[in-house]
Chain A
Amino acid sequence: MHAKCSDCSVRAVCCLADLQVNTAARVASVEGHPAFRQRMLALGITPGSPVTVLRAMPLGGPMEIEVRGTRLAIRRDDAAGIRVATP
């Protein structure tokens, strides 16, 4: 589990950094620096949007996610700021 998500108690809501590869999920909320939030919003990572982790690089490397038809690489630490809900 990612250090930043240690308070993640509810099973259904967790941070993107801990999401299993190829599991469908939806964004619950985006936390962090305003600039980071803004960038996420511009990229379509808004609450409710579907998101999937396509692959996660080993040793805590970045992960590749797909959101709104685009593939993005994002650092694990940054992904920890994105809460997701699994159905």
Chain B
Amino acid sequence: MRIALVGNPNVGKTTLFNALTGAHQEVANWPGTTVEYVVGRVRAGGDGADVELVDLPGTYALSAYARDEKVTRDFLLYENYDGVIVVVNAASLERNLFLVLEVLELTPRVVVALNMVDAAEANGIHVDAEALSHRLGVPVVPTVAAKRKGLQELLQMVRRVAEGSLVPLRSWPVPYPEELREMLQPIAAEVASTPVGQRLRPEWVALRLLQGDEDVIRHAQVVPQGRQAVNLALSCCAQQAGLEVELGGQAVALDPALHRHLRSQQSEFELAIADAKYAHIAEMVVSCVRRARVKRTRTEVLDQVFLHRFWGYPLLAVIFFVAFWLSFIASAPLSDDVGNLMAWLGRQAAVALGHAGAAQWLQSLVVDGLFAGIGAVLSFVPYMAIFFAIYQILQDSGYMARASVLVDRLMQMMGLHGKGFFALVSAYGCNVPALAATRVMENHRDRLLTNLVIPFIPCNARLGVMAVMTAAFFPGTLGAFVMLALILISLGVVAGAAMVYRRTVLPTEPAPLLIELPDYHIPSLRNVLIPTWHRVWMFVSRIWTWLLWATIATWALTYFPVGQPVDQSLAARLGHLMAPVGQWYGFDWRLMIAILFGFVAKETTLSTLGVLYGAGSDGALAHLLTQSMTPLVAFTYLVVYMLYVPCLSTVIQMRRESGSWAWTAVGIGVNVTVAFGLGWVLERLLMLLTGAGG
């Protein structure tokens, strides 16, 4: 049997899902963590059928606009399932019950999971589950998903509801006022005889028709009786609006003035319906919720500090600075250790191969190709692990939601949507999930805009390469400032690009920003470690899919023709083709090749450079690099490298998110242009400033 998990954002659906299925889906204290639906299996313990659980993105209502919310609505409307678990947050029951009522109107096979009862009790809120169950007419099971409490009861209950052995009641979960009922009932009766009415609950369809839900109208109109119901709903609107026109679907579509009139009437209905729901909820809350007023909750106290009108901002800067420092500077020794370990292994392998009498080319492949390449990639793991762990802590504690409130004004100036902040920060980890994270935005243009600027943000792999090169060229504290300068340049480019896009091709007001501020809590080890492990593993497993082949290809391009020095190799010939471009910047052919190959995956850059400079696997690359170019050229190279083009995976993801190759091409084109354009300007400027001359 198939059970859908729905609920408001951030109520613990995924936590519940993971606890029941043993899956490791990402959980965070941030509304909008899940953006796609995920299916998992709960093994039945001896009796009964297996339960298939579907984790859906959070939503406030079933009239959803954002793409992730539409996933939930479409699932509930058009997919098959045997029951629904509506997860509610006991601490803000009033708002959560709205969705419960919406779902109840759609299907009676509902069990309510009254989640986060622990947090609610801590805030002095006690919910009487029994009483609530009586009022709603469906089972209500108290749970603490994070501590695996109440899960078995929930599962049992939902089994019984889905099997039909426990039959919930009443056809109208909300006692609508008489005048609304008089209109709804005939429409529902009409709908009941149509295929739509047999699939979906007629009451719900009637409500939606009266509110002018376009999607439902379209579906209803496919059959004659359905059209009749639609017309009935329209004539109700017309009567209310004081119109005396003979209504047919056609006539309404034709006359814009009439249409406007009807639209306004439909929003009146919408208001009346929402009002009736909330009135009903208020009444339920009075009888089911007891509130002991605590002086000040922990969240209120912390917000006094973190959201302080003045101190909130420096605090934000410090927190993010520390996060970056820990990830990219403090982790450097760890990363060196990994690199050294691989180099040592490489040397051992060389010795072993030498003893075994392996061919020269095989030795070269293993030592210069494989160990050097894989070593370079694995040395990114410490960066990634620390970055993602910190990121996850910031998010699961609830701070990230506050940070997005603090920076919202800035985002607004750039024309970016406030919810994009989260995507932008996560882009520093990896651009690919960041692109997917934009799905929480309602407005297509807001999403597209954010998608177009995300690739300007250097991901972990790029930052890692930058950190290594910076350390080589700008030793000591100077290096930290250079890194800071690079990150500021990328931020400037993001802001500039967003403003330009907003003013030119994507001119809309960003959709309204509404961020629910979740309660702070101490991040759970599980919520930090599992996603971190997940990301690191994804990265490491790319070694097999891309990197191994890229490394071997690079090695082959430099090794052949056999016996020639590197600057006579195939790679060199390819590189010389690009040399004219490189000349402008003072990049030699090797740097150009590294840029080109970086497209496959940015983390190959170091190993590519290693192979091209003949550095082997013993960490001589830094030295060789400083020999072959000036710090100025290196800085320009870093800027170009940071901005020029996202990797292949990012391009594929961008295509997926934007749904268009044209926009993807625009994104890439702008990336390349800006990177090389800015690089050129910088190079000239730096030349002038240092007086080095042409």
Contacts and interface: CB of A to CB of B under 8 A. Distances in A.
Contacts of B275: 46-48
Interface in B490-524: 511-517
A40 B305 CA distance: 28
A68 B89 CA distance: 13
A60 B410 CA distance: 10
A3 to B, nearest CB: 14
Question: What does DSSP make chain B's interface, helix, strand, loop or mixed?
Answer: helix
Contact of B271 (A41, A61, A74): A41
B514 A74 contact: yes
B270 A41 contact: yes
A62 B271 contact: no
A2 interface: no
Contacts of B408: 57, 61-62, 73, 75
Contacts of B263: 34
Given A39-B512, A42-B63, A70 B95 contact: yes
Interface string B263-281: 1000100110011001000
A37 to B, nearest CB: 6
B406 A43 contact: no
A39 B95 contact: no
A72 B418 CA distance: 13
A10 interface: no
A44 B514 contact: no
Contacts of B99: 42
Contacts of B274: 41-42, 46
B514 A42 contact: no
Contacts of B406: 57, 61
B65 interface: yes
Interface in B77-107: 91-95, 98-99
Contact of B442 (A35, A37, A68): A35
Interface string B391-404: 00000000001000
Nearest to B98: A42
Contacts of A73: 401, 405, 408, 513-517
Given A57-B409, A61-B409, A39 B278 contact: no
A69 B92 contact: yes
A55 B61 contact: no
A36 B406 CA distance: 22
B60 A42 contact: yes
B309 A58 contact: yes
Interface string A9-52: 00000000000000000000000101111110111101111000
B511 A35 contact: yes
B512 A78 contact: yes
B95 A44 contact: yes
Interface string B58-69: 001101010000
A72 B409 contact: no
Nearest to A60: B409
A59 B94 contact: no
Contacts of A42: 60-61, 63, 98-99, 274
Contacts of A39: 60-61, 65, 442, 512, 514
Contact of B307 (A43, A49, A55, A78): A55
Contacts of B401: 73
Nearest to B65: A35
Given A57-B406, A60-B409, A62-B405, A47 B514 contact: no
Contacts of B307: 55, 57, 64
Interface in A62-87: 62, 64, 68-75, 78
Interface string B232-256: 0000000000000000000000000
B283 to A, nearest CB: 13
Given A37-B270, A78-B513, A43 B95 contact: yes
Given A62-B409, A69-B92, A43 B514 contact: yes
Nearest to B307: A55
Contact of A34 (B93, B267, B310, B516): B267
B412 interface: yes
Contacts of A64: 303, 307, 405, 517
A9 B94 CA distance: 33
A48 B274 CA distance: 12
A57 to B, nearest CB: 7
A64 B270 CA distance: 26
B512 A72 contact: no
B359 to A, nearest CB: 65
A43 B61 CA distance: 9
Contacts of A34: 263, 267
B63 A69 contact: no
**Which of B63, B442, B514 is the most central at the interface, judged by chain A CB atoms within 10 Å of its CB?**
B514
B66 to A, nearest CB: 9
A38 B405 CA distance: 22
B61 A57 contact: no
B139 to A, nearest CB: 23
Contacts of A48: 275
A7 to B, nearest CB: 20
B105 to A, nearest CB: 14
B86 to A, nearest CB: 14
A34 B530 CA distance: 40
A47 B267 CA distance: 13
B516 A70 contact: yes
Contacts of A47: 271, 275
A68 B65 CA distance: 22
A75 B409 CA distance: 9
A42 B309 CA distance: 29
A36 B61 CA distance: 13
Contact of A71 (B60, B270, B512, B516): B516
A72 B65 contact: no
A55 B516 contact: no
Contact of B517 (A32, A38, A59, A72): A72
A64 B401 CA distance: 12
A69 B275 CA distance: 17
B95 A68 contact: yes
Q: What 3 A-B pairs are tightest by C-beta distance, nearest first? A: A42-B61, A41-B274, A61-B409
6 contacts: A46-B274, A64-B405, A68-B278, A73-B405, A74-B512, A75-B513
Given A41-B61, A42-B274, A71-B517, 11 more contacts: A34-B263, A36-B511, A38-B61, A43-B95, A47-B275, A49-B278, A62-B409, A62-B513, A64-B517, A68-B94, A68-B95
